[in-house]
Amino acid sequence: MSATIEYVRFETADAAELTAHREQLVALLRERYGDGFLGAHLARFEDGTMLDFIVWSSAEVAARAAKEMPGDPAAQGFFSRIGTVHEMRHAQVLHSARP
């Protein structure tokens, strides 16, 4: 199996509140998906939209999390602050490099 990237670009009315709930979401992802959750990055583009970039161990784990997490009451602190979603995609990792 190959790692999978989840890429979500979205709007939020309050980036500070969204970010404040990020650690809780990351802890939940670690708890629920264990070794299937490889890492996450949250960023803001110059136009103010947000990027959630998550690395999963497989496409199956990524699809399961995408289905389960948005409606999970334990994750609502984060997901309730997401406005319009402009794009959500999964991509297979073909090559990775680390320092």
Q: Which of left, alpha, beta for 76 (phi over 0: left; psi -120 to 50: alpha)?
A: alpha
pLDDT of residue 1: 67
Query: Of 68, 51, 69, 43, which is closest to residue 6 (Cα–Cα)?
Result: 51
What CATH code is carried by the domain that includes residue 64?
3.30.70.100
In a domain, residue 30? The reply is: yes
pTM score: 0.91
Q: How many domains are contained in the chain?
A: 1
9-65 pLDDT tens trace: 999 999 999 999 999 999 999 999 999 999 999 999 999 999 999 999 999 999 999
In a domain, residue 61? The reply is: yes
In a domain, residue 99? The reply is: no
pLDDT of residue 98: 82
